Amino acid sequence: MSENIPSDDAEQRAALLNIVKNLPDLPGVYRYLAADGTVLYVGKAKSLKKRVGSYFQKNDQSPRIRLMLAQVAQLETTVVRSEAEALVLENNLIKALSPRYNILFRDDKSYPYVMLSGHKSPRLAYYRGTLDKKNTYFGPFPNGYVVKESIQLLQKVFLLRTCEDSVFGNRSRPCLLHQIKRCSAPCVDLISPEDYRQDVANAMLFLSGKENEVIATLENKMKALAAEWQFEGAAAVRDQIQALSQVQERQFVSSNTSEMDADIVACVESEGILCVNLAMVRGGRHVGDKNIFPSHADDYTPAAAIHAFLAQHYLERSTPGVILCSPAPEEAEVLAELLSEQAQRKVLINSNPNGDRRIWLEMAARNAQLAILQRQQAKFNQAGRLAALIEALGLPEETQRLECFDISHTMGEATVASCVVYDRQDMQPKEYRRYNIATTTSGIAKDGFAVITPGDDYAAMRQVLMRRYEKVAAGEGVMPDVILIDGGKGQLGIAIEVMNEIGLTAPWLVGVAKGETRKPGLEQLIVPRTGNTVQLRRDHPGLHLVQQIRDEAHRFAITGHRARRAKARMSSSLEDVEGIGPKRRQKLLARFGGLQGVKAASVDELMQVDGINQALAEKIHAALRG
């Protein structure tokens, strides 16, 4: 249901109250909208009438709520069957709409997992994304490092394959991983299917926290092999047992219940900053944690923040059997019931644990507190750097947003321009942009811009600035306070011309020219608006800020350039071979899992691809190996 509200303040409040009086006494979700249709806030209610009405009955609303209500021009409500359904709908809408007055946690749907595929010879892999029932997943884990470390260990101990199916199904000899004892080569039957399945089963037991059971099984196997005088095989099993024992010794947090999975969630507020620490225990082992700083957290209590985090994080995602929380979240019973229904098993939300679990919770709270202190210190340092730069260059005191550009190419090949953004005293990666610059060797320019000569940095700089700021001049996008140009007077002159052409005079332009020896610390900062060229001392905080932003622009540009160049070369390497068209090229890449697989293939292996005879196989082999 949607209701429009008059723009006059008095009429607006009267209209709101009239709408509220007619709301049903039923569970549902309500949405406050601004005049332009932007969603300001999404909330859920056990009773829409009572919950929405409370906004207009209280006189002690927080500044955030008063500011929000002053912007409300439309009210929308959706009635549902239960409070649990309202919770699900509320969080789906929050994730989809990102309302400015809701506390927002980054919705990281791609938490990493260890995956064992459902094949006859299962593949061990690092996985992010939607879970497929035909595979087995272990996780999620707080970061990719934990998953990669686990995979390396499982390769070392259980020798499970990690290759893609296209490679696995077309091997005629063992790969390098078998030679360095990281794979048992099921692709060429160097291990029996029964033995490989046993290794997979042991890996699954290990990932489930049952190391002692795995070690006991391996010890029995080692004794049996030794009794049959198969000492080489017994020694290999012994090495497996030693590797697993070392892993057990490295665990710094453990549980007497070795098979337990749990998440520990602690929220701490200090100096107006909220931080949630999420720690993960899998199979009784602490596998890492991460600190999360929500957006729009003004006026939220830690209990309300934890409620929002649990709802946004766990709905439509796998949930452990136990979630330890500090402090207790609001409406914990409703959350536990909903998560249990989703997981199809009991999920316990416990805010008053004992023993090891209490220690885990205290540790998570302490890590959240330390993260806040580190964030405050970093902001203090960044604020000092920005203030020092403003003073040194004579920039406006209100300067906050700086955008920096860089151009990257290799002898004119695969030219890429980058734009990075520094705002709110930090780099803003979500606002970074890359621009592919078309040259006479790389194809057709986009958006009507001219194709440039390879290696012409001035033309590349002109194009990226036009593409970036024509929209800003037209009222789209955010106006920067300062534009940093990585280059000397030539590139800076191009920037001045572009700004004059599009009529954008507000941003200050600053050129960052390398010194005579191109060593860091000798940069010259050219400021056309004041006519000054400034060389700050090496330890100047303002120079450190410029270096930080400039280096990030360089990193972002060169990463994009390398990816574009690699993509171009991957296709062109085979394109350069006479007799290889798009269809044959696609078959080769699919058969061998990519260009590196094609390069590693022998002439006989290449001939197994449909349409590749001996002469063509020899030509491909010579071209890629030459």
When pLDDT is averaged across residues 223-237 and rounded to a whole number, the result is: 81
Please answer whether residues 106 and 98 qualify as being in contact, where contact means their C-beta atoms are separated by less than 8 angstroms.
no
Do residues 423 and 552 both lie within one domain?
yes
Average model confidence (pLDDT) across the chain: 85
Do residues 190 and 234 both lie within one domain?
yes
Please answer whether residues 624 and 186 qualify as being in contact, where contact means their C-beta atoms are separated by less than 8 angstroms.
no
Give backbone dihedrals phi and psi of 218, rounded to 5 degrees, phi first. -70, -35
pLDDT per residue as tens digits for the range 127-171: 888 778 889 888 778 878 778 888 888 888 888 999 988 788 888
Residue 552 CB partners (closer than 8 Å, separation 6+): 404, 420, 427
Is 395 or 215 the better-scoring residue by pLDDT?
395
Bridge partners (DSSP) of residue 426 are: 423
> Which band of pLDDT confidence, cut at 50, 70 and 90, is reported for residue 250?
very low
Please confirm whether the linkage preceding 186 is cis (ω < 30° from 0). no
Do residues 336 and 424 both lie within one domain?
no
Question: Domain for residue 395, yes or no?
Answer: no
Is 149 or 547 the better-scoring residue by pLDDT?
547
Do residues 538 and 406 both lie within one domain?
yes
The Cα 252–Cα 120 span in angstroms is 36
Do residues 429 and 547 both lie within one domain?
yes
Closest CA to 350 of 369, 325, 377, 387: 325
Do residues 551 and 582 both lie within one domain?
no
When pLDDT is averaged across residues 532-538 and rounded to a whole number, the result is: 92
pLDDT per residue as tens digits for the range 477-522: 899 999 999 988 999 999 999 999 999 989 999 999 987 666 777 8
Q: What is the pLDDT of residue 580?
A: 83
DSSP 465-508: HHHHHHHHHTT-S---SEEEEES-HHHHHHHHHHHHHHT--SSE
Percent of the chain scored above 90 by pLDDT?
39
Question: Domain for residue 541, yes or no?
Answer: yes
Is 250 or 568 the better-scoring residue by pLDDT?
568
Residue 45 buriedness (CB in 10 A; 0-12 / 13-18 / 19+)? buried
Q: What is the pLDDT of residue 396?
A: 94
Question: Domain for residue 310, yes or no?
Answer: no
pLDDT per residue as tens digits for the range 446-484: 566 778 888 899 999 999 999 999 999 988 889 999 999
Do residues 38 and 132 both lie within one domain?
no
pLDDT per residue as tens digits for the range 595-626: 777 877 888 888 888 888 888 888 888 877 65
The Cα 379–Cα 572 span in angstroms is 47
Is the pLDDT assigned to residue 92 strictly greater than 90?
A: no
CATH number at residue 604: 1.10.150.20
* SS3 readout for 515-553: CCCCCCCCCEEEECCCCEEECCCCCCHHHHHHHHHHHHH
Residue 215 CB partners (closer than 8 Å, separation 6+): 241, 244, 245
CATH number at residue 9: 3.40.1440.10
The helix or strand, by DSSP H or E, that contains position 133, with its residue range, turns out to be: none
Do residues 177 and 275 both lie within one domain?
no
Question: Domain for residue 19, yes or no?
Answer: yes
Do residues 556 and 581 both lie within one domain?
no
Q: What is the pLDDT of residue 247?
A: 53
Closest CA to 484 of 418, 388, 424: 418
Cβ count near 65 (within 10 Å): 16
When pLDDT is averaged across residues 283-289 and rounded to a whole number, the result is: 77
Domain boundary among 223, 250, 277: 250
Domain boundary among 66, 97, 128: 97
For residue 80, the SS3 value is coil
Do residues 281 and 332 both lie within one domain?
yes
Please answer whether residues 133 and 143 qualify as being in contact, where contact means their C-beta atoms are separated by less than 8 angstroms.
no
Question: Domain for residue 255, yes or no?
Answer: no
C-alpha dihedral, 403 to 404 to 408 to 414, nearest 10°: 20
> Which band of pLDDT confidence, cut at 50, 70 and 90, is reported for residue 372?
very high
The Cα 470–Cα 479 span in angstroms is 11
Q: How far apart are the first and last CA of the chain?
A: 69
- Token code pair at residue 544: 């450190």
Query: Which residues span the domain enclosing 607?
Result: 576-625
Question: Domain for residue 377, yes or no?
Answer: no
Is 625 or 559 the better-scoring residue by pLDDT?
559
Do residues 528 and 422 both lie within one domain?
yes
CATH number at residue 463: 3.30.420.340
Question: Domain for residue 440, yes or no?
Answer: yes
- Token code pair at residue 46: 């056990």
Q: What is the pLDDT of residue 263?
A: 92
Is 455 or 3 the better-scoring residue by pLDDT?
455
Per the listing, tokens 């040259």 go with 439
When pLDDT is averaged across residues 68-79 and rounded to a whole number, the result is: 89
Closest CA to 339 of 587, 546, 87: 87
When pLDDT is averaged across residues 48-57 and rounded to a whole number, the result is: 88
Counting the structural domains of the chain, the total is: 5
Bridge partners (DSSP) of residue 408 are: 416
Question: Domain for residue 59, yes or no?
Answer: yes
Domain boundary among 32, 66, 97: 97
Give backbone dihedrals phi and psi of 80, rounded to 5 degrees, phi first. -125, 180
Do residues 122 and 238 both lie within one domain?
yes
The Cα 541–Cα 387 span in angstroms is 9
